[in-house]
Structure 1
Amino acid sequence: MAQPSHTFFLKTGWFIIQVDCTAVPVWLDPLQQRYAHFLTCPPSTPPALHISLQPGVPSTYPQNKAPDFTPHGVTFAPPGWEGELDFAQKTGWVRPGPNFFIEETDYFLRVACAIQAFRTEGLLFHAAGILRGGEGYLFFGHSGAGKTTIARLSGERAVMNDDLVLLRPEPGGWVVYGTPFYNPTQVIPSGNFSAPLVQMLGLVQDQDVYLENASPGHTLAEIVANVPVISTDARCAVELLTRCQKLIAQVPAFRLHFRKDDSFWAVIENRRG
């Protein structure tokens, strides 16, 4: 299949999103550069979503809006940029401000990925994903808990993403996937990686370095709290809880007490063996 003009295809996890810049072709190259590790060829079957970009109203700063949920997707209403996702039609459109089109398009795509993942048995999850020996490790916690610090202290280990990853159960267990989303202060993803998920580690900044067993209830609450977008839609509450319970039943989870050096990796590797 030939590459359509002014369009690119983004491979995120197990699905592909087509991003159409026909209305604003000057946005194509900057967006392709941002998502370079995650670009893919046109698929042989229709992509999960076809999203059209259109010029919006100029703004003085980028805006991360909360979506309004609809029966088939979400809308983002003015003031500022606007957009819509219709998962029944597998389409969407967004009108970001021209001076912040990268940041606002990126946010729109994050929401699209969160919902598409949930609709296909997965989760978008706030965590740093690090690849070690072909296995995936998740480090999660509230903003400021240390996810980016962990990524920077992980040396030659590949950073799947230091803030947002995708998770999905497969026949052999849960798999973690990197995502293309990052902010200027974060570690840029090393590539488009996926790996079996072997440990989940809730972050606790400390002077001592050790792993602490956490109660299933505490772990479940933390996991649910770190699922963006979906956790704000009451219609998804029961399924979200069920899916997170399945996750913590199948993947070992600990609280990682760490200080700002790489000594935590020795503790993790000793436990993993």
Structure 2
Amino acid sequence: MADQRSLPVPDGLAGERLDAALSRLFGFSRTRAAELIAVGDVLVDGQAAAKSDRVHAGAWLDVTLPPPPTAPMPVAEPVPGMKILYEDSDLIVVDKPIGVAAHPTVGWTGPTVIGGLLGAGHTVATSGAAERQGIVHRLDANTSGTMVVAKSEVAYSLLKRAFKERRVDKRYHALVQGHLDPLRGTVDAPIDRHPSGDGRFAVVAGGKPSITHYDTVEAFRAASLLDIGLETGRTHQIRVHMSALRHPCVGDLMYGADPTLAARLKVGRQWLHAVTLSFEHPTTGAWVSFTSEYPEDLATALELAGRES
């Protein structure tokens, strides 16, 4: 069902092009705004307008937003390279390889953790949206490492709460460009979608509170290996915060990494790995911890960085 929005143009957008004003008001790209204008889904003071028309403060906008696309259901088929680190009747911990999303999303056609588990005959909790049942946290498709999925309904509920209340210890290793000063520190900077609407996230005023702790493990000539702990779990959080410090993850071209260095270290994605995941077991109450070794591409890049130093 389409979503009807009616609102005045705020003073801060007076004089902006209509497509630019819509992009800033609704958070989608100017291309998407232009498409809505072209098909007549945007009225200014009750009249059709062109994307290049300038808007004035107080002008009344009537916008018809199409219903959001629905995520596909998971395809139950085994995922090559996805290892099981631990399993019991309540949860299953996987070592997620790159190129695998946590669950199906709009526009993603590749393999998923949930589909891989179902395809291998594992059961998962039925709580949550149909396309992401059992999923209590996520890793980016091209971030490897430890990830837990709930199998029982009680585990789903308690693990979701533990992640929300920040009672889970998530440790990552990241190889970032250059050397951080200070060598140990905290990044406390809000994150939200990048104004460009191109799928990136960014540090923006008014974004969601985001806190990242880092500690330098080893410094190489052109890069540093960091141990990172998260207090919050925003999308792309480590990648965004490291980029904001001007030390993007090696290979993370989306967030400004040097392609020459990435090629030299033979890494084709962001050098970021979820090394350890620790939490209170939802039914036994025991503190449990699971660790993942570096996959081959990250280990090779680290070795090459060492040779250069």
Normalising TM by the smaller chain, what interval? under 0.3
TM-score (norm 2): 0.23
TM-score (norm 1): 0.25
Whose strand proportion is higher, 1 or 2? 1
Structure with the greater alpha carbon radius of gyration: 2
